[in-house]
Chain A
Amino acid sequence: MNSCRIAICLLVGSGLVMGAAGHGARAAESGSKPVLSTEATEALARAESGVALATAKKALWTTAASALAQAQEAAKHQDNAAVMKYAAVAAEQASLGMAQADGPLTSQH
């Protein structure tokens, strides 16, 4: 149980750090290309931590995972609009998965 909690913290933490520092820094390094916006950076961090939480809860949907992958791919190309779009989907699908895991069981009549 404890190691699980640590795992979540690590993942959320690293997600935030990567989101906040990583993408921005990488973009800045590449010089001529535009830097990933603060909003996009934050949206990506939120999506990454949401997906990490849903994974730890064993409630991740493939749609959340693939939207996050799309957002991360878009971040590599500093495509702010695409990052925002896919990150929002990933965060939403991750939270829906977590809510579902707390929902009622079927077929109990």
Chain B
Amino acid sequence: MGKPLAIVTAVSLSLLLAAAFISPARAAEAPQPEPTGQELAFDNRKGNCLACHAMPGEPKAVTNTNIAPPLIGMAARFPDRRKLYGQIWDATRANPDTAMPPFGKNGILTDAEINKVVDYVYGL
């Protein structure tokens, strides 16, 4: 009997927590303009690319990271747009052990958002 109770408690607790977390965000949702590709790439609740990638050609990109290759010269290095899109959609396909989150597969970014990020990254 202990276990079901614990599980029910855990579920309801997490839901309560989640609810508390969400309501203010929803209130603020309405008037905000759509984020740009750059905003999506920088925002630590969205792409958060700067957690792992430096952007040496982008003065606004503030990060100390050295985890992953710097995002630079992307148009030359990724002539095939689908490849760049695929890397962001699910990085585990190219490297099963990767630390890069599968932004599309896990629904961290929508397809439209990934396209904006790809557009932005192509300019780097």
- Could you list which residues of chain A lie within 8 angstroms of chain B, going by C-beta atoms? 3-4, 6-7, 10-11, 51-52, 55-56, 60, 62-63, 65-66, 68-70, 72-73, 89, 92-93, 96, 104, 106-107, 109
Contact = CB atoms under 8 A, between A and B. Distances in A.
A65 B18 contact: yes
B14 A65 contact: yes
A11 B7 contact: yes
Interface bin, chain B: 20 to 34
B28 interface: no
Interface string B3-35: 110011011001111110111001000000000
B105 to A, nearest CB: 8
Nearest to A15: B11
B64 interface: no
A68 B11 CA distance: 11
Specify the main secondary structure of chain A where it touches its partner: helix
User: Which residue, A7, A62, A92, A106, has most C-beta atoms of chain B within 10 A?
Assistant: A7
A55 B19 contact: no
A96 to B, nearest CB: 6
Given A3-B2, A3-B4, 20 more contacts: A4-B3, A7-B4, A7-B8, A11-B8, A55-B7, A60-B14, A65-B15, A65-B17, A65-B18, A66-B18, A66-B21, A68-B18, A69-B16, A69-B19, A70-B19, A70-B22, A73-B19, A96-B107, A104-B96, A109-B97
